[in-house]
């Protein structure tokens, strides 16, 4: 199975979009490209299981390695394990749903869908890269389209929000680059040459002194992408001003780039430094979980509710990584996938509501279940997944993080676990309150200009139903059969990493 298809298909789709004439062609090409991406991701899943079943226990499968810039030993080196594959499937599902939700975008539609496809290209490239420079390259590819999507198609303080997001993420990228450069110049192969190859660096073992100063740069840099406290302030502004599909990409995919980088690069390549700084990571993650939950309670705008909720939920990802146990790390990856699906579904539902009611204020909405049953049901499913209802993905992901965190016997770490668990109560409060006001009760749809005529409000169109269905299927499968995702992401590399931690660091 060629991983190059994950780069070639979005690239060809983007070129085809630039050659389109008319909205109909743009829609067909964008959706066709997204569906092909999803088919390739599913085919990759089948090929992965076949390879593992056949006895291939390599750390990375389907590796491809092409020299890119020989003097600096930069390679276009690709490969995947179960963690990478989970992120690829998430990207394909959110991309397809985002394009379907954006079906009615008419303003500069060609450019809009082009930027969405470029975002998916950057994400795929990031998740399959085994070369640190190539990984950083694709991380940067995924930044600029966000700025343009918010600045051109956004709402509210879109220029301010776009600039703030771009500057903070570029700042995070700068920190990442310093960390990666430090690793590159302080690791040498047997031939005495520096390397960006992640697999070689893992085998060479980065010197402890180098780890101690490179790790903060890499982890904080990637952490900014995943709402690491106190560098989270771009999240509510960016999400609230972004168009629906861009919000889905930001929360569903882009924030996962940071979590993946914190795990794959910072933690797995520098495990001793990860153990040294783990208490700081756990403190910041716990603050983000609690702060995000209480801040969400104060919000009256549906997009701000989901944005601040994302800060809290992404805190579980960092908490699982910081605990450095196999179960906690597995839970962190499960939380990335679950949150990506859930928050993309939530933003899709909010976008559907806004398109019909022209308001996102909770106080101006009520009784929508009676006039928009499908959209209201989607809203409820996303909310219940967010608060951790059993049978949905949010439950199994958070429980796995909590169980893995409790395995760490340190008293302070267990206190952090208890505080993180307590945040579930706060989550239930703001989710149930928002659902009760918006979905239940007497019908109410008002804006600053007064009440909206209810007969003009329609339920979801075919494209919106299909978009929601794609995401709901993922949420339900993980919730009902979590062993499927657990078996996928329990890669050999996690086992070897945990063995290294316990043998070389803890004892």
**pLDDT tens digits along 205-264:** 788 888 888 999 999 999 999 888 888 888 888 888 888 888 888 888 888 899 999 999
On the question of pLDDT at 449 being above 70, the answer is no
Cα–Cα distance, 359 to 381 (Å, whole number): 21
Contact present, 334 and 478 (Cβ < 8 Å):
yes
Q: Across residues 99-123, what is the average pLDDT?
A: 89
Residue 194 is given by DSSP the state B
Residue 501 confidence (pLDDT): 53
Taken in order 456, 460, 461, 467, the sign of the CA dihedral is: positive
Closest CA to 17 of 97, 105, 91: 105
Instruction: Tell me which of 87-91, 191-195, 436-440 is least confident.
Output: 191-195
Residue 343 confidence (pLDDT): 92
Say what percent of the chain tops pLDDT 90: 38
What are the beta bridge partners of residue 451? Answer: 446
Residue 275 is given by DSSP the state H
Confidence band (pLDDT; 50, 70, 90) for 451? low
Cα–Cα distance, 257 to 282 (Å, whole number): 19
Whether this prediction's pTM lies above 0.85 is answered by yes
3-class DSSP state of 157: coil
Number of neighbouring beta carbons within 10 Å of residue 162: 23
Confidence band (pLDDT; 50, 70, 90) for 161? confident
3-state secondary structure 97-160: HHHHHCCCCCCCHHHHHHHHHHHHHHHHHHHHECEHHHHHHHHHHCCHHHHHHHHHHCCCCHHH
Q: How far is CA 270 from CA 174, 202, 214, 267, 276, in A?
A: 19, 8, 9, 5, 10
The contacts of residue 282 (CB under 8 Å, 6+ apart) are: 319, 322, 323, 413, 416
Residue 332 confidence (pLDDT): 92
Confidence band (pLDDT; 50, 70, 90) for 99? very high
On the question of pLDDT at 342 being above 70, the answer is yes
If you search the block for the tokens 């109410």, which residue do you land on?
A: 444
DSSP strands (E only) in 257-357: none
The mean pLDDT of the chain is: 87
């Amino acid at each position: 199975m060629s991983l190059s298809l994950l780069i070639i298909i979005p690239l060809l789709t983007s070129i085809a979009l630039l050659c389109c004439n008319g909205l109909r062609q743009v829609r067909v090409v964008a959706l066709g490209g997204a569906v092909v991406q999803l088919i390739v991701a599913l085919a990759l899943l089948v090929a992965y299981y076949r390879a593992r079943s056949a006895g291939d226990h390599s750390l990375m499968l389907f590796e491809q390695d092409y020299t890119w810039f020989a003097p600096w030993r930069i390679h276009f080196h690709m490969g995947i394990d179960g963690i990478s594959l989970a992120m690829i499937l998430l990207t394909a599902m959110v991309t397809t749903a985002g394009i379907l939700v954006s079906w009615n975008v008419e303003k500069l539609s060609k450019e809009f869908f082009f930027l969405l496809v470029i975002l998916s290209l950057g994400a795929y490239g990031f998740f399959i890269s085994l070369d640190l420079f190539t990984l950083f390259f694709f991380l940067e590819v995924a930044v600029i389209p966000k700025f343009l999507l918010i600045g051109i198609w956004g709402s509210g303080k879109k220029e301010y929000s776009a600039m703030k997001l771009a500057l903070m993420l570029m700042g995070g990228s700068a920190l990442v680059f310093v960390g990666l450069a430090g690793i590159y110049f302080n690791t040498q192969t047997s031939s005495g040459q520096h390397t960006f190859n992640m697999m070689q660096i893992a085998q060479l073992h980065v010197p402890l002194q180098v780890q101690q100063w490179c790790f903060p740069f890499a982890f904080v840099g990637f952490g900014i992408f995943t709402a690491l406290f106190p560098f989270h302030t771009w999240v509510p502004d960016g999400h609230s001003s972004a168009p629906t599909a861009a919000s889905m990409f930001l929360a569903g995919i882009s924030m996962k780039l940071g979590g993946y980088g914190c795990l794959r690069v910072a933690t797995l390549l520098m495990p001793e430094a990860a153990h040294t700084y783990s208490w700081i990571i756990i403190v910041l993650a716990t603050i983000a979980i609690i702060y995000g939950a209480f801040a969400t309670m104060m919000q009256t705008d549906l997009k701000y509710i989901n944005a601040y909720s994302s800060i809290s939920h992404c805190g579980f990802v960092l908490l699982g990584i910081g605990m450095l146990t196999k179960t906690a790390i597995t839970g962190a990856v499960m939380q990335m996938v679950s949150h990506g699906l859930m928050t993309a579904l939530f933003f899709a539902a909010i976008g559907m509501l806004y398109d019909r009611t022209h308001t996102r204020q909770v106080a101006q909405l009520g009784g929508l279940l009676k006039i928009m049953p499908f959209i209201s049901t989607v809203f409820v499913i996303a909310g219940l997944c967010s608060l951790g209802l059993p049978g949905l993905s949010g439950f199994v992901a958070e429980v796995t993080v909590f169980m893995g965190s409790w395995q760490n016997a340190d008293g302070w770490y267990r206190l952090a676990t208890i505080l993180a668990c307590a945040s579930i109560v706060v989550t239930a409060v703001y989710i149930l309150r928002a659902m009760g006001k918006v979905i239940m009760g007497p019908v109410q749809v008002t804006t600053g200009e007064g009440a909206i005529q209810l007969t003009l409000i329609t339920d979801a169109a075919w494209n919106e139903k299909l978009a929601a269905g794609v995401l709901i299927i993922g949420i339900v499968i993980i919730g009902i059969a979590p062993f499927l995702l657990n078996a996928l992401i329990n890669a050999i590399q996690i086992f070897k990493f945990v063995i290294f931690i316990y043998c070389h660091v803890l004892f």
